[in-house]
């Protein structure tokens, strides 16, 4: 097959797909991967051909401003604004090539529109929960409820009119259901009884593709419990929180690895205790293999990786779907969740120590780990994709 993979400019959306790309290439398929330049090396290392963004799309990403700050409407407004800019580029790529399948990110791939614009099979790649409906009550989707909602509907009508598509609903855009759908977790963790096989293929996280080279000397941990702290790769400007972590765990009988991202420098944190390793980037999977607790922003990708290794989590959600992920964690008793704004060194230490001692949560995480490992079957997913396309060809 000749496959076009469409994605965005975010680690949490691209990293989960890399294992699938690797498996597709290994099976002899050609994969062209459309994403932003910082991820070009990652996708080419998997054997794909990289297709970069135009200057027009790059300018949109740099200059975009939402009209308001309502969490759901802001996400929808960005998705639709992004689709409006990216669809002409995708159409141009499709017109210049002969693809057998399009796999597109459910948030930033325009899948709900592409289904109406091409006869090529469209598969949606769900980098967060696959959902059958929006997480809002119906009254909050009625035109006139909120100015930002009305702007979303205006953009949606504009796109549908431009491409002569029967007007779609915001729910159709948000749920982004493709002919087939790939989900990077287990059916159990995803939840939503309406999201089921065979149209949804549950992969689990792409651990194989994330075997980072590690220069860490993990022997420094010794017999101590290992606490891993990371707020992801995007929203990392939390110098006061990192200082709080140092105050909470300094010189205790734990070892702490803390990733602080590129928006904070280690030099801003003062004296670093001997039981800490603090860097802008750390090999997350290598650490999660050894971690006893993960203090996390509850990003979907990070949570799935932690569950793969059975690590209990202390969730401090910051934006977007992180709140839904944290809620799912706590409802399944796989960790705890607190408000970052209410944290202090004492609360952070006490809550973490309680979590380290919680046998029930640890047992549930280990059960979830088995579920993740049993689900992680990229070979089967690739075969399903092949069978689907071959079936369509035979039917013509």
pLDDT value at residue 395: 74
Q: List the domain range (segments joined by +) for residue 355.
A: 210-374
Residues 6 and 140 in one domain: yes
Residues 150 and 177 in one domain: yes
The total domain count for the chain is: 2
pLDDT value at residue 210: 54
Residues 228 and 117 in one domain: no
CATH value at residue 299:
3.40.50.2000
Contacts with 117 (C-beta within 8 Å, 6 or more apart), sequence order: 87, 91, 163, 165
pLDDT value at residue 208: 61
Q: What residues of the chain score a pLDDT lower than 70?
A: 208-214, 396
Residues 78 and 126 in one domain: yes
Task: Determine the Cα–Cα distance for residues 17 and 159; give it in Å rounded to an integer.
Answer: 27
171-218 pLDDT, tens digit each = 999 999 999 999 999 999 999 999 999 999 999 887 765 555 567 889
Q: Which helix (H) or strand (E) holds 346?
A: helix 345-356
HSE-up of 43 (CA within 13 Å, CB side)? 26
DSSP secondary structure letters along 62-122: HH---S---HHHHHHHHHHHHHHHHHHHHHHHHHTS--SEEEEETTTS-HHHHHHH-SS-E
Residues 68 and 113 in one domain: yes
Residues 236 and 272 in one domain: yes
Task: Determine the Cα–Cα distance for residues 15 and 233; give it in Å rounded to an integer.
Answer: 12
Residues 281 and 345 in one domain: yes
Residues 77 and 143 in one domain: yes
Residues 44 and 189 in one domain: yes
Residues 237 and 314 in one domain: yes
Residues 35 and 109 in one domain: yes
Compute and round to an integer the Cα radius of gyration of the chain: 22
Whether residue 192 contacts residue 129, with contact meaning beta carbons closer than 8 Å, is answered with: yes
Residues 52 and 138 in one domain: yes
């Amino acid at each position: 097959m000749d496959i076009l993979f469409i994605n965005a400019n975010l680690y949490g959306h691209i990293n989960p797909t890399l294992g699938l790309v690797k498996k597709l290439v290994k099976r002899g398929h050609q994969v062209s991967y459309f994403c932003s330049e910082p991820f070009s090396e990652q996708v080419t290392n998997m054997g794909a051909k990289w297709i970069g963004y135009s200057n027009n799309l790059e300018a949109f990403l740099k200059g975009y401003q939402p009209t308001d700050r309502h969490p759901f409407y802001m996400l929808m407004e960005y998705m639709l604004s992004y689709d409006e800019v990216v669809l002409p580029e995708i159409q141009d790529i499709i017109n210049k090539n002969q693809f057998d399948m399009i796999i597109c990110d459910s948030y930033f791939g325009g899948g709900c529109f592409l289904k109406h614009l091409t006869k090529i099979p469209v598969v949606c790649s769900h980098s967060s929960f696959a959902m059958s409906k929006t997480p809002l009550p119906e009254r909050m989707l009625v035109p006139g409820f909120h100015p930002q909602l009305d702007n979303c509907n205006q953009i949606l009508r504009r796109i549908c009119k431009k491409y002569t598509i029967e007007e779609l609903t915001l729910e159709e855009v948000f749920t982004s259901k493709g002919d087939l759908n790939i989900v990077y977790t287990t059916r159990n963790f995803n939840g939503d009884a309406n999201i089921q096989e065979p149209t949804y293929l549950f992969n689990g996280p792409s651990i194989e593709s994330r075997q980072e080279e590690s220069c860490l000397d993990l022997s420094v941990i010794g017999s101590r419990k290992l606490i891993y702290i990371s707020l992801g790769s995007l929203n990392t400007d939390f110098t006061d929180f990192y200082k709080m972590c140092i105050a909470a765990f300094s010189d205790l009988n734990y070892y702490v690895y803390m990733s602080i991202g590129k928006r904070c420098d280690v030099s801003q944190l003062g004296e670093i205790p001997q039981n800490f390793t603090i860097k802008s980037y750390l090999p997350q999977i290598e650490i999660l293999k050894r971690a006893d607790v993960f203090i996390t922003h509850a990003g979907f990708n990070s949570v799935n990786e932690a569950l793969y290794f059975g690590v209990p989590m202390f969730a401090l959600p910051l934006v977007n779907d992180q709140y839904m992920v944290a809620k799912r964690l706590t409802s399944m008793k796989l960790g705890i969740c607190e408000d970052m704004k209410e944290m202090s060194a004492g609360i952070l230490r006490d809550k973490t120590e309680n979590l380290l001692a919680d046998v029930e949560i640890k047992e549930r995480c280990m059960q979830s780990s088995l579920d993740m490992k049993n689900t992680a079957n990229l070979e089967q997913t690739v075969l399903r994709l092949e069978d689907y396309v071959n079936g369509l060809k035979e039917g013509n």
